[in-house]
Each structure stands twice: as structure tokens, then as C-alpha cells.
Amino acid sequence: MSETNPAATAPVTADAAPHRYTAAMAAEIEARWQDFWDAEGTYAAPNPKGDLAGDPELVARPKKFIMDMFPYPSGAGLHVGHPLGYIATDVFARFQRMTGHNVLHTLGFDAFGLPAEQYAVQTGTHPRASTEANMKNMVSQLRRLGLGHDKRRSFATIDPEYYKWTQWIFLQIFNSWYDDEAKRARPISELVAQFDSGERAVPGGGTWSALTEAERADLLGEYRLAYASDAPVNWCPGLGTVLANEEVTADGRSERGNFPVFKSKLRQWNMRITAYADRLLDDLDQLDWPEAIKLQQRNWIGRSEGARVDFPVDGERITVFTTRPDTLFGATYMVLAPEHPLVEKFTPAAWPEGTRDAWTGGHATPTEAVAAYRAQAASKSDVERQAEAKDKTGVFIGAYATNPVNGEQVPVFVADYVLMGYGTGAIMAVPAGDQRDFEFARAFELPIRCIVEPTDGRGTDPSTWESAFASYDAKIMNSSNDEVSLDGLGVVEAKERITEWLERTGAGAGTVNFRLRDWLFSRQRYWGEPFPIVYDEDGIAHPLPASMLPLELPEVEDYSPRTFDPDDADTKPETPLSRNEDWVHVTLDLGDGRGPRRYRRETNTMPNWAGSCWYELRYLDPHNSEQLVDPEIEQYWMGPREGLPHGGVDLYVGGAEHAVLHLLYARFWSKVLFDLGHVSSAEPFHKLFNQGMIQAYVYRDSRGIAVPAAEVEERDGAYFHGGEKVSRLLGKMGKSLKNAVTPDEICAEYGADTLRLYEMAMGPLDVSRPWDTRAVVGQFRLLQRLWRNVVDENTGRLSVADVAETDVDADTLRALHKAIDGVRQDLEGMRFNTAIAKVTELNNHLTKVGGPVPRPVAERLVLLVAPLAPHVAEELWRNLGHTSSVVHEDFPVADPAYVVDETVTCVVQIKGKVKARLEVSPSVSEEDLEKAALADEKVVAALGGAGIRKVIVRAPKLVNIVPA
């Protein structure tokens, strides 16, 4: 059977009863209420002030800001997997509205980025044109779902009025520095004042006033939170752009496009996110996020405690970072990363006497050997270099360093297993304790000294070992000099003692190292925010004054990126904006007292992450053209309060794939804006929830090519496409796998309320689940029964019994109040699937009882359904005679008198004789019942200390105990 064959469901839509709930009726009801809600502004959330100010009674309520990760308007449109999260937040938002909150819920578009540009290149359409067409399509798809968005607050990141503020934030970041003592960002002008007054020494001596403009710019560049630098960056010739570390996969390829990525030295913009490493780590503790995401952020930030140790070399020194300073006595050689800036300085013209052949790589001089090795290392990715299994390569640079702890001369190598981007780019090698060092030492005939007592029986002679020995439980040995002895200590104590010695003698110090690198912030793209930066004739960067924002993207003839042979590491990026000479070269008066001058614009653009770094703030005050966000409005929706120590959005729902990209970047921007006093919230998203994925079956023919799922037929448990047998596997849903089901199809067949219910009923929200079009009808039938319980299908008239609650039978009242209690708790806890199960149960109960449903029950049933299936609820609510929207009604509250479980009597027998009776819940588990029976006084007494051979439990009514 086809997955979306309309014939399969025809019987439920073609119907005799003229007022039955059908797809056609759903379509009519849904369109009508959607128009009504739009016209009435039903979902408008009032601000405390400004252009969106509104009903003071609503403003006075506690607020809830409920947000989705906004979509990228892809040309493929939505499939039923996309709205899963949007429906969930909508249900939750509606529930919050009905429980006394002022709820902000809206949706915008993240619309800069690569796909639009690639599509533009393929088709010759301008990225703006295709992006806008895609957004239009998505807006209508989303509208059909009846999402209760405050549409006044929607925007796209490509709107100049929006990216004006993205650029403005860039300028704030550019114009600030991180004060390590105060542990916060401060305006760069305050740093200048410190240099100028002498309060802070100008590095290298001299005074601020004696520095040239270029020298000042360079010095400030060392401090600015947004800075340009020439560091090695991830260059991806296949995409024609540089990438952030977060955009490079574990095997050294671009996350998008899967092209090789190389390290290349290019002048690029960076964000000094590393300054915030500690705070980004610490504040995680207070966020209500899934542990898995917190862990990914912690690992990405990668805090390592250890020590910095200096190894003298000819009056200079090599500084290493180690997490194991306790193994210093076992350091028998050193390694510098091939790119380490000191390599040249320490490499002599000739091999020193006694150099082993194995160390030279067959080269006549150290200079030659190092040059050849560097060239070889440059062609490898970091991951290839670090691979545990690979043969260790390297060359001796012809120099020796002094191990500070024992004065030994240890040879210095370059080897690619040491990375420039981590620690200090140099290590002390301890072959006995580190496997990579062990393998290297074996390959290069270097000494291996046993400095921890192996606990695995291998003995203390490393020449007999097959691997390094690593354990935190072992004791240190062979590790003492005249001043310090680590022998016999455990690792933790030894670390402390040696660190203290290093600090006392000045040979080193305890330190913390982070894995996190600064965020590479420029891209060689057209379709992104232009940088509000110009360069003067001396190449000094100047920020544009805020009055010149937004700096709009110019129209260009050719917006395609220049891409290259994906494997050619020696290529250089070219920015599309640089092709527009008139835009690039300008005469401007920056208002800095220098008058009009010639400038060259920055032609890189910002990465597509920029726009999503602060969008939650724009939702608050979307039309503000004077300020980023009005402080009072920001404080109202985002400010810290009880349960929200750093403030932020109350609920943020989206995919788990953004753990270290968007979520880390957005937290960083928040903290900078907080430090600079622009916002009161130091965290953007207090509670995060990751929804699961909707999966779909992928059908493949014998060649492994996906065939359209809608054309596949099932016969006797096998699947066929055009007569050919095909395989079936669960996978992603999407155009490329030819298994996409669109919300439009389902809405046409059943209506949006059914789609909403089905998506919410499929399983717990955080779990992935397979889509099954054939199962959707189950929720449609629920709505039909609901309808039938309130409206007469033949006359279309209300069919409820106008009686008082006191006249309702006790069973029904119990069913009602239990449902209210359960649904309330489930909606609050985002367990939408179990909430639907409880609504279904109540509805079935009413069907079973038969007769007209008492009005007090019918009304509350409709209210319970309202967050989940808002259109049908609104329609029934009005049918019940109400004149105001169900959206703002109060959610029912259960009467506790009916919620307490009834009990049943459980008989406890010993050897078949009744010894006790227990009152227990009818749903008691066998385990609990057994425990309760064995703990009962009478049972204990009757057993009289005898052991138990067997307990037979038949919950909830019987426990039979057989004594030993």
C-alpha cells in the first residue's frame, strides 16, 4: 500500500451524516479561525511599553517567552518532520496562555547562508529573490498549521533593519576588550585611557602618546574582542571560503559539502570567545539544558588543568603545556609543532656531533630536514596528524633543551603529532606515560624512563614494555632531585608538589588550558552581513559610525564565490564583494575629526551564525530603530528572576546538532552584551529542549538508489516499486531520499488539527519516531468522536445536556477530573503524547456512557483539547455559546476530591489462608504490592520469622505467600 494513497482513507471522509467532522469541514473551520485570529491579533503579546504596548492586565501576568530555533528558508519547503518542534512549542505556549501567562511566541527566518547562494549560482537568480520566494512559501505552509505566533514580531535576518543591529553588535564587540581582573568586557576606550595615563604599561616600554597610529591599532588589536589576525585558519578551497573550527568535522572536512580543509595563513576576522571560556563553562551549571548538550559544550571548551614548564635552550626557552607535570622526570625529549615560530630560531646550520642517523630523516643539514618535514606536515589535516594508529614521524632540529628538574640535555624534534593550535604548540615527551611519545621514542631510539610504578605486573624495565603505562592510581618513582622528591606519591599529590616547586624556582607555574579557540568570523561569501569596517590608506581598520548603519549589501553582477580544486591547498580565497570596485573604494567622513578620506571597505562577510546570535532580542522589540532593544522591554521578557538566575528565554526548542555552534556563539554574544550593559540577561536560553527527529522509510532498488516512497506497494510483507522488489530501511525524511511527506498533503487529507495531534501523539517529544501516514487517521477519528460528543452529526446542533455539575454521575466526574489533572501535568512537563492519551480516554468514556454529554464536562473537554487542536476547540467553544476566544480561557483545574485514586482490597494469604487485607491502588505494580504485603504487621506476625520460599502476586487483588 502506498504511504500517501488518498484512496486508503477515503471511507473516513466520504460520509452520510451531514454534520460529521470531515476533512472538508476541518479545512473550512481551520481557514475561518486562522483568518479570525489574524484579524483580531489573538496571539499578540503586549510589551510593557513602546509600539507593541498593550493590555496592562496581560502585561501584569508572569511572562513566558517560548521560542523555536528559527528555520532556514530552504527551497525544498517543509516536510512533516520540520514542524514537530513548532507544534510542540505552540501547544506549550497555548497551555501557558491558558494558565495565566503573558506568552511571547513568534517565528522569524534565518535567511543568510550558503544554500541560497549555491542555488543562486546554479540558477542565476539573486539570492534575495530565491530566499524571499522560499520564505513566502514557508509562511503559507506554517500558517496552515494554526501556529499561534505574534506575527508583528517576525522578521528575517536579511532585513537591513535587522542586520543593522547585527552590524551594530559587531561594532560593540570590536570596540571592547576583556578585563581579566574584572572578568568582564569593557569599552576599548577605557583600555586606551589606562595606557594613556600609564596605569597600564605599554608593552615593550614607551608611552601611548609616542606610539604611531599603526602601532596603537596593532596594540589594541591584541585586546579587542573582534580582531583581525594572520593566524593559520581552516581554508576550504572546495567551498572557496574559510571556516570556523566548529564547522570542520572530526575528520578534517567541511561540515557542509564534505570538502577537505587545510590550515592556511590568511588575514581574517576573529571573535575572542576564548576570553569567556571560564564563564561559558561555569554558567552552564545553572541552565536547564539536556545534560548531553552541556557535556558537548564542556568538552568543546575543554578545560585542562596542568602546568606550564620552561625548558631553557641557549638563553631562550621552550614553554610546554602539560597535564602531567608529575612526569617531568620522565621527559626524555621534546617536540615542537612543525609550525612553531621558534623552530627556525633553534635550528642550527649543521648537525651537532653525535646526532643519530635515525633522527635526521636522511638530510644533510637540520635546515633542510626541517623544511622538508614542514612541507610534508602542511598537507595533512589535524586529525590525520593526531591519529593514534599512524606511524610517528618527525625530525631532530639539531638543538637540545634543558630539563629543568634534572638538568638533562634533551633533544628537540619537530613532529606532526603535536599541534600548533593547542596548549603552547610544544610538549615535553614522556614516553613511559604517553602512548604517542612511547611509539615515537621506539621509532627514534630515545630513552624511556620508568617514572610510575606499573600496577599491572609488567615490571619497571621499559625495554620490555609494549606500550606506555598510564594510571592515576600508581605511585611515582625515579623522580627526585636535591630540592624535591615525588617518589612514593600518588599522581594528585605529586602534581601539587612539583607545581609548587616549579613556581618556587620560576621554572613554570600551574595553569589552565582550554581547547576552545577563537571564533573565525569572516567568510568569502556574498550572501551575508557586510562588516561595518573600512581600511584607510595605511591599512588601519576603522569602524563605521553607528549612523552609517545598516551598511547594505551592494548589488553585484556576480555573487558566486570563487571555488577551487578541493584538494589544492595552495589556493587563496577571493571575496565576491571585492568585485564591486565602486562599493569597495569610498570617500567617507567617519566623524572622527579626520574629515572626508578615501577608504577601502572590508569585503568579507559575516558567517551565517551571526544573525542567530541575538535574534531572541529582536523578537522583544522588533521595530526599534533607535536601540538594540529597549532595556525595560528586555528586562520584562528576559531578565533574571527566581528560577532564571541568568535570565533568558523560558523555553527554547530545536535540534541537538547546534550544541557547539549556534548555542555557544549565542551565549558568547549574550555575555558581551550583558557586560557592556545593553541587556540584563547573561544567558540567552534558560531552558533548552531537543526534539527528536521524524524518520521515514527509505526504499531502495537493487542498485541502491532511493525510489519514491509514495509509489511503493506492499505485498505480503515485501515492498515493490514498478514490479521490482525494493528494500526498506528507516532513515531521514527529505527530498533527496524521495520519502518526504509534506504537511500540506496531510492538512488537505485530514486538516491541521489532526496533523498536530498525530505529531504530538507519536511518542515522547525528545525521541525520534518513524512517520506512518496510515496511522494519522487514528487522530482524525479522535476528533470525529470529540465532535460527535458535542455536536449532533445529523442536525449540526449542540447536543450537550444543560445540567449542573452536581447532576453529573460520579464515574464521569472522576474520569473528567483525573483527565484534567493528568493533562495539566503532562502539558506542563511537555509530555504531549500522554496528554493526548488522557484526552482520548476521557472522550472514550463519554462515548461509552452514551447520551448527551453534560455541559460542564463537554466544556472542560474542549478546553483540555484547545492547546493541542486549537481550531476544532475554538469552533466547539463558540458552538457551546461562548463569545470570546478559547485561546484566552482559563485551563480547567481538577477538583482534588475526584482525583484521589479509588482503592481495591487486596487479600494476603499464607499457605492459602487469608491473613491480611490491604487497601491498594488498582494500578499498583506487582513489585510494590509484594513489598506492601511482606511489610504488613499481620503478615509479619503470621510468618513468625519463617523464611519465604515463594510469593505469588496477582495485582491488585491477591498475594499468596509460601513460607520456607
Binding site for ligand ANZ (CB under 6 A): 304, 321-324, 327, 337, 418-419, 422-423, 425, 427-428, 430, 433-434, 513
Rounded to a whole number of angstroms, the minimum distance from the CB of residue 321 to ligand ANZ is 5
Rounded to a whole number of angstroms, the minimum distance from the CB of residue 253 to ligand ANZ is 21
Burial code (b: 16+ CB inside 10 Å, e: under 16) for 156-176 equals: bbbbeebbbbbbbbbbbbbbb
Whole-angstrom Cα distance, residue 323 to residue 246? 24
Provide the sign of the torsion angle of the four alpha carbons 188, 190, 195, 200, taken in this order.
Answer: negative
SS (H, E, C) 760-775: HHCCCCCCCEECCHHH
Rounded to a whole number of angstroms, the minimum distance from the CB of residue 572 to ligand ANZ is 27
Q: Looking at beta carbons only, is 337 or 869 nearer to ligand ANZ?
A: 337
Q: Looking at beta carbons only, is 391 or 626 nearer to ligand ANZ?
A: 391
Nearest to 611 by CA among 665, 653, 684, 691: 665
**What number of CA atoms fall less than 13 Å from residue 608's CA on the CB side?**
22
Rounded to a whole number of angstroms, the minimum distance from the CB of residue 495 to ligand ANZ is 11
Q: Which region holds residue 852: left if phi is over 0, alpha if psi is between -120 and 50, else beta?
A: beta
Under 8 Å between Cβ of 405 and 328? yes
Rounded to a whole number of angstroms, the minimum distance from the CB of residue 363 to ligand ANZ is 24
Rounded to a whole number of angstroms, the minimum distance from the CB of residue 379 to ligand ANZ is 18
Scanning 684-750, the segments in alpha helix (DSSP H) are 743-750
Rounded to a whole number of angstroms, the minimum distance from the CB of residue 270 to ligand ANZ is 19
Rounded to a whole number of angstroms, the minimum distance from the CB of residue 511 to ligand ANZ is 11
Cell matching residue 659: 550544541
Strand-pair category, 426-429 with 508-514: unpaired
* Whole-number CA gyration radius for the chain: 35
Whole-angstrom Cα distance, residue 411 to residue 402? 9
Task: Return the SS3 of 142.
Answer: helix
- Please give the angle made by the CA atoms of 601, 602 and 604, to the nearest 5 degrees: 140
Cell matching residue 818: 483525573
Q: Looking at beta carbons only, is 339 or 859 nearer to ligand ANZ?
A: 339
- For cell 504596548, the residue is 53
Q: Looking at beta carbons only, is 422 or 697 nearer to ligand ANZ?
A: 422
Whole-angstrom Cα distance, residue 160 to residue 755? 36
Q: Looking at beta carbons only, is 286 or 304 nearer to ligand ANZ?
A: 304
Under 8 Å between Cβ of 574 and 590? no
Whole-angstrom Cα distance, residue 855 to residue 277? 59
Q: Looking at beta carbons only, is 339 or 683 nearer to ligand ANZ?
A: 339
Q: Looking at beta carbons only, is 30 or 382 nearer to ligand ANZ?
A: 382
Q: Looking at beta carbons only, is 337 or 405 nearer to ligand ANZ?
A: 337
Under 8 Å between Cβ of 150 and 44? yes
Q: Looking at beta carbons only, is 108 or 433 nearer to ligand ANZ?
A: 433
Nearest to 332 by CA among 413, 273, 213: 413
Q: Looking at beta carbons only, is 392 or 658 nearer to ligand ANZ?
A: 392
Q: Looking at beta carbons only, is 516 or 693 nearer to ligand ANZ?
A: 516
Distances (CA, A) of 890 to 99, 231, 482, 745: 6, 59, 79, 33
**Residue 198 one-letter amino acid:** G
Nearest to 654 by CA among 3, 71, 26, 63: 71
Task: Return the SS3 of 848.
Answer: helix
Rounded to a whole number of angstroms, the minimum distance from the CB of residue 33 to ligand ANZ is 57
Burial zone of 688 (CB within 10 Å; 0-12 exposed, 13-18 middle, 19+ buried): buried
Q: Looking at beta carbons only, is 145 or 412 nearer to ligand ANZ?
A: 412
Nearest to 361 by CA among 380, 379, 339, 376: 376
For the chain, the farthest-separated pair of C-alpha atoms sits apart, in whole angstroms, at 107
Rounded to a whole number of angstroms, the minimum distance from the CB of residue 958 to ligand ANZ is 59
Rounded to a whole number of angstroms, the minimum distance from the CB of residue 327 to ligand ANZ is 4
Q: What's the start-to-end Cα distance of the chain, in Å? A: 59
Under 8 Å between Cβ of 619 and 612? no
Rounded to a whole number of angstroms, the minimum distance from the CB of residue 468 to ligand ANZ is 7
Task: Return the SS3 of 759.
Answer: helix
Rounded to a whole number of angstroms, the minimum distance from the CB of residue 479 to ligand ANZ is 12
Rounded to a whole number of angstroms, the minimum distance from the CB of residue 367 to ligand ANZ is 23
Whole-angstrom Cα distance, residue 874 to residue 659? 38
Rounded to a whole number of angstroms, the minimum distance from the CB of residue 447 to ligand ANZ is 15
Q: Looking at beta carbons only, is 337 or 746 nearer to ligand ANZ?
A: 337
Which residues have CB under 8 Å from 396's CB, separation 6+? 351, 355, 356, 359, 360, 366, 369, 411, 412, 413, 444
Q: Looking at beta carbons only, is 76 or 419 nearer to ligand ANZ?
A: 419
Rounded to a whole number of angstroms, the minimum distance from the CB of residue 454 to ligand ANZ is 13
Whole-angstrom Cα distance, residue 900 to residue 896? 7
Which residue in the shown chain puts its C-beta closest to ligand ANZ? Answer: 433
Q: Looking at beta carbons only, is 186 or 458 nearer to ligand ANZ?
A: 458
Q: Looking at beta carbons only, is 66 or 335 nearer to ligand ANZ?
A: 335
Which residues have CB under 8 Å from 603's CB, separation 6+? 575, 576, 577, 578, 584
Q: Looking at beta carbons only, is 105 or 324 nearer to ligand ANZ?
A: 324
Q: Looking at beta carbons only, is 89 or 403 nearer to ligand ANZ?
A: 403
Rounded to a whole number of angstroms, the minimum distance from the CB of residue 311 to ligand ANZ is 12
Rounded to a whole number of angstroms, the minimum distance from the CB of residue 94 to ligand ANZ is 47
